[in-house]
Structure 1
């Protein structure tokens, strides 16, 4: 009979990855099975009853708010190889492109999904539902992941509001897994280079605060999904081929984080706006380029109608890299580990996930 580990022996097994510069910590072991008959229900339990895990891995001394965490959980749909729950500084988004790219790479590298040379397809289950994955494996290396972006649409087009210390700001709002404010970087005086990162975060904070104070947003099926959490700075769009566009971009997550990558959902939001403005056709691609010169490629695959909304179908392609394999020790005597809502879900780091 196994003994319950002493508190100082509690640990969590991690694989740290990044896609486009955004670090995603993949939790592969150390968490007991969560209540809930769907991945969405498991996410809600984690959010409401065990948010200490998110705080533990995104705050000092274990992490920083600019990171994300993806917990591998069993899928509720038999068609999916595994489920995953996304945790960020703003909470629990139901979908994320960069996190999906990292998670898909991690389940291949960890052997939860056996690698197959060439192109292979499988499904994962996010809180948003099933996600089709296509992995490109060359010589045993995962060279690219293409994942479905959530169906995206424009909620608000070219609204204006006054933002203290900035002035009048024109913005659009897209839904692409979360509500995004889309603003023209040039109009705000930005070139979207690395040296502007702090000013971009300060500017975005003020705009998001002003939008949140003025209004809320409701999804056509999900209803109220909380205050607007994202802002995407858009650089000029350059056409580099008949069906290929490129644009510098930066995504802000409230409160206070400029993502290292342009984000997959931010790229999906851009595709929705380009479609709304009649600037893109099915089959066209947009590469968004970050402050760190990394990029994701979004492909506009078509549209369909959902009530009054023309919804854009799309895919996001990127590459993830494995940074580290580790077991972190969680000691409840450590004064830096303040949130006790994590200990009841800690188990064996070797327990299989997915």
Structure 2
């Protein structure tokens, strides 16, 4: 019976299932090309781990692969219910922790740096280890920018909504939670998801977006609710936040890319300068900290370089068996990739 191994982790409450072994070498001379092979030819692994009986849509999957860039310690392919994002902050935090806990990168006391290779390219990581436990991880966010600032759209059932659009690894609609009557508390989770779905659907029907360098990176899938900003120290800010990623799904964390998007918007509006940081706080009181390092003008866009900091926790390590007679498992393309690593 074919099987493969997993390490389940979470960052800010978002569960990332790290596939650590049992997968055949994938075709492609970059991690991006290997991701595209899975997406186009062998999507069964993603479907298996994000649907019942093995998983749920709120989870993510990160497949560890040998790096193609010699500067990287490991490569990783991100799989979510909406598909294959080229980057994710929470998934990078979890993958970085997994490569330390599995020994792919030797764990050392104190601070240590290494690189990972995402489909988006090389990612710099800094981890802090105390008493042999990974206490925190800081990773590069993708260069982020605002595509659309405070536009208006008519949304059925909600009326006229003001929104901005950011790119930070995916396109995000960004809305003021207070303007929509939300306090950003856990009890609002279902209403937040329904509201976000209506806004995202309306935007998708009216607009499409293209990255200034990457071109078509897919439709706008995400929405970030922004709460009031408070000052907690010189150049340090905090804000309640919530991120919608799929119909019915509000992330348990604020998401790394959502936090990066917020940095870009605050910088554009003159509320954040290089060296400043924003702590985003989820409905479950979990937190990520985004730090803005610099901004530059590229064509029409002000692009923000940033990092995301947080902590990932290991939940368990296990293996999954593939029973080809199980009617709940679709093996049509799964067996293309299951085998000896």
1:3 match: none
Matched, 1:39 2:31: yes
**Aligned equivalents of 2:153 and 2:22: distance in 1?**
47
The structure 2 residue matched to 1:208, chosen from 187, 200, 203, is 200
The structure 2 residue matched to 1:50, chosen from 31, 42, 45, is 42
**Aligned equivalents of 1:224 and 1:332: distance in 2?**
37
5 Å matches for 1:254-273?
Answer: 254-273=246-265
Q: Which sections of structure 2, spanning at least 5 residues, go unmatched?
A: none
Farther off after superposition, 225-234 or 298-307: 298-307
**Cα distance, 1:225 vs. partner?**
1.0
Q: What is the aligned-residue RMSD (CA, Å)?
A: 0.8
**Aligned equivalents of 2:320 and 2:337: distance in 1?**
15
2:114 match: 122
| Runs of 4+ residues over 3 Å off in structure 1 | none
Alpha-carbon contact 1:55-1:339 (below 8 Å) kept:
no
Matched, 1:150 2:152: no
Equivalent residue of 2:143, what SS? strand
2:20 match: 28
**Aligned equivalents of 2:80 and 2:248: distance in 1?**
12
The structure 2 residue matched to 1:91, chosen from 83, 108, 125, is 83
Q: Which sections of structure 1, spanning at least 5 residues, go unmatched?
A: 1-8
**Cα distance, 1:339 vs. partner?**
5.0
1:66 match: 58
**Aligned equivalents of 1:305 and 1:74: distance in 2?**
35
How high is the TM-score relative to the length of structure 1? 0.95
The structure 1 residue matched to 2:173, chosen from 181, 196, 211, is 181
1:252 match: 244
**Aligned equivalents of 1:306 and 1:161: distance in 2?**
27
**Aligned equivalents of 1:98 and 1:234: distance in 2?**
18
Alpha-carbon contact 1:18-1:102 (below 8 Å) kept:
yes
**Aligned equivalents of 1:59 and 1:275: distance in 2?**
39
Alpha-carbon contact 1:135-1:146 (below 8 Å) kept:
yes
1:4 match: none
**Aligned equivalents of 2:178 and 2:140: distance in 1?**
30
5 Å matches for 1:1-354?
Answer: 9-348=1-340, 351=341
Alpha-carbon contact 1:208-1:254 (below 8 Å) kept:
no
Farther off after superposition, 287-296 or 251-260: 251-260
Alpha-carbon contact 1:18-1:24 (below 8 Å) kept:
yes
